[in-house]
Structure formats: C-alpha cells, structure tokens
Amino acid sequence: MGTAAVHLLLLLGLLHAGPGGEGRKGWRRRGPAARERGEAAAAAPAESFPLDFTAVEGNMDSFMAQVKSLAQSLYPCSAQALPHDLRLHLLHNASVTCNDGSPAGYYLKESKGSRRWLLFLEGGWYCFNRENCDTRYDTMRRLMSSKEWPATRVGTGILSSQPEENPHWWNANMVFIPYCSSDVWSGASSKTEKNEYAFMGALIIQEVIKELVGKGLSTAKVLLLAGSSAGGTGVLLNVDRVAEQLEEMGYQGIQVRGLADSGWFLDNKQYRRTDCIDTITCAPTEAIRRGIRYWNGIVPERCKLQFKEGEEWNCFFGYKIYPTLRCPVFVVQWLFDEAQLTVDNVHLTGQPVQEGQWLYIQNLGRELRNTLKDVTASFAPACLSHEIITRNHWTDIQVKGTSLPRALHCWDRSLHESNKNGKAPLKGLGLGHSHPLLCYTRQPDTGSREAINSTMRTFPRSRTFSLAMNLTS
C-alpha cells in the first residue's frame, strides 16, 4: 500500500475515532470477547456510519483539502476526469415548458456511488399580469425561456463539487433546476391562444423527478430539495409533493428533506403603501393574490384546508405553511432580508437611514424572528442581505460560532440518527442573532442607526453583502 493511501486511512481513522465517537469506543474493546464477536460477524456486510468530523472541526477546510489531494494522488486518472460542470438536459416531455413555450429542463452532475441527491430551485421574483410579464420577458428573458441557456453551469456554494467550498455535500448528485416559470414554482397552466404565457413551475419539478428516477434517483437514500428566494418559497410549496410523488412511484425508502433559503417572507404592512403597479411596488399579499389566479397556482392540500376558498395565497408565506408540512425543512433566513425590505418599500440606496425606516427595520427583524420560534431547524443571521447557500463564501457566515454548513451537517446527522432509530427528529437546532445588523460588527452591539448610516455611507450597496460575509467569521 502506498504512502498516500496510508495517510488517507490514518486521517479517516482519526475522524472515526474522534472525541465521543464510536470509533474510539471500538479501539477499547479489542479483548478476546470482542475478537470472537468480530469473527462471528465477519460474514455480515459492514454497517455504514456517518463520519464524525468533530476531531477536525476547527480546521475543516485544511482537512478536506488534504483528503481531496490524497484522493487525487491515489486515483489520478479518475480525479482528473471528475466533471465539475452541471450539464443541461431539456425535458423529454415537451408539453412541460417555460413561460414562452420553450422546453423546461435541468442541469445535472452525477456522482456515481453516492446515494444523496441535491435538487436546487433557482429564484428570481415573479410576474402576476400580462403587463409586468411582458416587461420581465423583455428585460429578464432567461427567467422565462430556455432558448439561450448555456450547455453547462459551474456549481457554487452548496452545489460546488469542491470540498473546501462545500464540506458536506460536495460528492452528492447535484441538480440545478432553472427558474423559467415566473410563478414561485406553483403554476400548473400551459400556454394557449388565450394564455400568452405558460406557468408550469409545479409541473416542471414533477417532470424533473420522473426523469431523474431513470438516472439513479431510484436508488437514492436522501433527496434534499433546496432553493433560494422564490426557489426557497418553492421548496415549502413542493417538498411534500415531491415526497408523495416518489412514494406513489414506489420509492418509499427515499428520505425527502427541504432547505429553504431566503424564501420565508412576511405578509406584513408596508413601510409606505403604494399602488400595486409592478412586482417591486406591490405588497406581497396583493401580488400573490393576483399571481395565484393568473398562474393557476396550486398549493399543498394540507395547507389549503387551513384556509377558506380563495385564501390559498396564505400558503406562500412560510410561517403559515410550515406547520402543515410533513417533511423536515431547514430554514435559512436573513432577519433583515433585502427582498422583503424592497416589497415593503424600504429602499436603502446609500443615503442616511431615516428614523422611521430604522424603527421599521428593527421591528421587521423582531417579527421575522418570532415567526421562526417554532421552526425545528433554522439559521437566521441578523444581517442585511438576500440569499446565501449558492454563494461561494457561504461557509463564512456564522451564528453563535457555528457556520451554516456545520449547522446543516448537524441537522443532517440528527435526521440520520432519528431515521436509524425510528425516532422523531431532534428539535431545538434554531440559530439566530438578536442584535440588529450584527454581521457588520465583531461584537454584539445595539445596532444603532448611526452605525448602519456610517456603513451605508462608507460602502457602496454593491459591496455591502461581501462586507457582511467578511466580518462574520
């Protein structure tokens, strides 16, 4: 056995024998009785176990880089051939389309041997009538048509195949589903002579699942349906439906979970009320009311039954649909979400924040935090931003000393243990800050209006996000 192989085995041995892990207990039980048990069980297949990363948690990036380097030295040919790009597959069922009637599709990077699948729903607002859909088509056509989609995409953040960037999911089967339905992944209406646009977001997800079953999803152990912004809301609307679809197809053994990033919006009162003219100025409740009719949108039956007929729009808001969900869902939500502030007509354009705006922002953070108090697993930094899980610096975000990838890994392991033992998932994994805009400071403070005004004056809006990332670690 080569030196590199020995080093790799030693590293993995240290992991498995980390503090409190089963590996350490195993080394202590090497007496005659233990050897007899080992010989008796030799014919049985080895039980799989999740690696315990506790021993190297403080230096995970360095450790993963070493593992990757050793793996490449052991298997240089296969390592060089590993595809880092996700490749485009247009749906075989041509009746399931984007807004303009072009075929919908998905990007796939297969990971042979892995039984974990990550499906990501792209975000990108919505449109809710002919006029603003026409404007959207003129200005953001890639969100309504597949005609100019590239043949490949490079995965970033949780879709990255680089262990340094994506420590726990880098070797999963990755699927990126582009958003081209403009309906928050809820629509079920095709393009006709009467309907200028198709809205088939919910049907696109179902069709992708059907095709992936033939590409290895049928043998999956875990399917994580993730999404950001409108895609995050799409996760809440579709995660149970995906689980039910797989069960109906005969794949009851696949554990379906959800990861909703920046899709937990509030149906609150706007800071300054304006007429519902377009996506930006329209209050969220009114926009969804109009949209669900225009899209022929569908919501989960369990949520629908909680409201009167015609009030199904309530299911687009996280705190209302979450209690009705059967699948476990991890919620990632900035307490001061830029998209929420935009639809609430709080526009932070680099000018000093007015007292009324500041009080509104503080109250928004409190309201949002309160809606998360009954969420089993959440990660809620008190920062001004929007979306995170596909950013290449998503590992830098920390809440109370815990990074987002680490929090997801803990949640993943708790679900693994619960499923193995037939118990309900562990609760109490909520992580969140109570100090407004804490990501702009190294120590907790009162988040004064003067502090945010200073930040806005010093840093252009285009750099505010990266500033929040750098000062959180």
For 364-400, letters b (16+ CB in 10 Å) and e give bbeebbebbeebbbbbbbbbbbbbbbbbebbbbbbbe
**CA gyration radius for the chain?**
24
- Catalytic: which of 386, 403, 412, 414? 386
Q: Is 393 a catalytic residue?
A: no
Cβ neighbour number for residue 453 with a 10 Å cutoff: 15
CA distance 417 to 420: 5
Catalytic residue (choose from 52, 183, 240, 337)? 337
Residue 223 and residue 12: Cα distance in Å, rounded? Answer: 25
C-beta contacts of 207-211 below 8 A and 24+ residues apart: 207/91, 207/93, 207/96, 207/104, 208/91, 208/106, 208/119, 208/175, 208/177, 209/242, 209/245, 209/246, 210/93, 210/249, 211/89, 211/91, 211/92, 211/106
**Cα dihedral 303/179/412/51 (nearest 10):** 160
Write down the catalytic residue from 111, 189, 229, 403. 229
| Cα(446)–Cα(436) distance, integer angstroms | 7
Our answer to whether residue 89 is catalytic in this structure is no
Is residue 378 flagged as an active site residue?
no
Query: Could you give the CA distance from residue 92 to residue 215 in angstroms, rounded to a whole number?
Result: 13
The Cα 276–Cα 191 span in angstroms is: 25
Q: Where in the sequence numbering do the catalytic residues fall?
A: 229, 337, 386
